Amino acid sequence: MIRFLFAALLFLQFQGSLVACAIDRPLATLKKEQGKADTLVQNGFQLIFVQQDPDFDSHVATRLKETFFQVYPVLVATYNPDAVHHVTLTIDTAYDGVAYAHDGRVVISQAWLKKMPRDVDVVTHEVMHIVQAYPSGSGPGWIIEGIADYVRYKYGVDNVGAGWSLPDVQEEHHYTNSYRIAARFLDWIEQTRKKEFVKTLDKAMRVRAYTEAIWRAETGLGLDELWAAYATSGNGKE
């Protein structure tokens, strides 16, 4: 009986060690993946800034944080007051794209920032996606990205320093090229056809009310008619 109890105690102790290892190992891995995390709060907005590489350029990190707090509250107030006030921004050492945003989280490639350290307005573009918060099936992808780049153009803090600008319209361009090409088209509409049209378009996308009829209803011209007028207007100017 004594031998049995002793063996049972050893077994339980061994099992406990295994459980402890099983718990500690994922936590250690998680900490390694997360790296250094800072939580900052300003005027009711919280940013959790995660550096997977603790040695990431501190100057660039500071500028990214400053850009968030300078831009995000303005975008929330301007476009969607119901947008989340808590955002996580991760500088990812493994991601091989540029950046993406989803569900209150922004991920930016560390390799990209090493190559383009002044491109802090990648934050402006990505946090606009958080503000957009469009449901599935809200509308065309080119509008989503076009609005985000339009916002970067209007609210960016250092587009010039990053060498980023909206391109002059070219014969081969089309609004479905998205991003900066679509952004310039949207800016032309605001400048020449309908002020604050982007706000109207953004809201329609968020409540899943977008149809192509919105272009004519708001500007007097259909989408393709607008593009034709824009493309022949002399680099987006009238």
pLDDT in tens, 82-120: 999 999 999 999 999 999 999 999 999 999 999 999 999
Task: Decide if pLDDT at 223 tops 60.
Answer: yes
pLDDT band at 6 (very low <50, low <70, confident <90, very high): very low
Pairing of strands 36-42, 45-51: antiparallel
**Ramachandran region of residue 153, left (φ > 0), alpha (ψ -120 to 50) or beta?**
alpha
Provide mean pLDDT across the span 29-34: 43
Provide mean pLDDT across the span 206-217: 98
Question: Is residue 3 domain-resident?
Answer: no
On whether both 127 and 181 belong to a single domain, the answer is no
Q: Is the separation of the CB atoms in 120 and 65 below 8 Å?
A: no
Taking the mean position of all CA atoms in its chain, how far away is CA 187? 20
> Token pair for residue 186?
């949207």
pLDDT band at 9 (very low <50, low <70, confident <90, very high): very low
Model's pTM, two decimal places? 0.84
Task: Decide if pLDDT at 172 tops 70.
Answer: yes
On whether both 160 and 210 belong to a single domain, the answer is yes
On whether both 154 and 105 belong to a single domain, the answer is no
Q: What was the pLDDT predicted at 234? A: 72
Closest CA to 216 of 204, 205, 224: 224
Give how many domains the chain has, as a whole number: 2
Domain boundary among 75, 105, 133: 133
Question: Is residue 25 domain-resident?
Answer: no
Query: Which range of residues forms the domain containing residue 114?
Result: 35-133
What Cα–Cα distance (Å) separates residue 79 from each residue in 32, 143, 157, 216?
37, 15, 18, 22
> Can you tell me whether residue 108 is helix, strand or coil?
strand
Domain boundary among 91, 118, 133: 133
Residue 7 CB contacts under 8 Å (≥ 6 apart), including other chains: none
Q: What was the pLDDT predicted at 235? A: 59
On whether both 144 and 56 belong to a single domain, the answer is no
Task: Decide if pLDDT at 24 tops 60.
Answer: no
On whether both 196 and 221 belong to a single domain, the answer is yes
On whether both 139 and 186 belong to a single domain, the answer is yes
On whether both 124 and 48 belong to a single domain, the answer is yes
On whether both 160 and 120 belong to a single domain, the answer is no
Domain boundary among 133, 162, 178: 133
Closest CA to 187 of 225, 155, 220: 155
In the chain, at which residue ranges do the beta strands (DSSP E only) sit?
36-42, 45-51, 86-92, 99-102, 105-109
Q: What was the pLDDT predicted at 35? A: 79
Helix axes 179-192, 197-206, angle to 10 degrees: 120
On whether both 111 and 60 belong to a single domain, the answer is yes
Work out the mean pLDDT of the chain and round it to a whole number. Answer: 88
What's the rounded Cα separation, in Å, for the pair 107 and 205?
23
Task: Decide if pLDDT at 28 tops 70.
Answer: no
70-87 confidence digits (pLDDT tens): 999 999 999 999 999 999
Question: Is residue 19 domain-resident?
Answer: no
Task: Decide if pLDDT at 13 tops 50.
Answer: no
Q: What was the pLDDT predicted at 34? A: 61
Q: What was the pLDDT predicted at 17? A: 35
Q: Is the separation of the CB atoms in 134 and 206 below 8 Å?
A: yes
Burial of 123 (C-beta count, 10 Å sphere; 0-12/13-18/19+): buried
Provide mean pLDDT across the span 213-233: 97
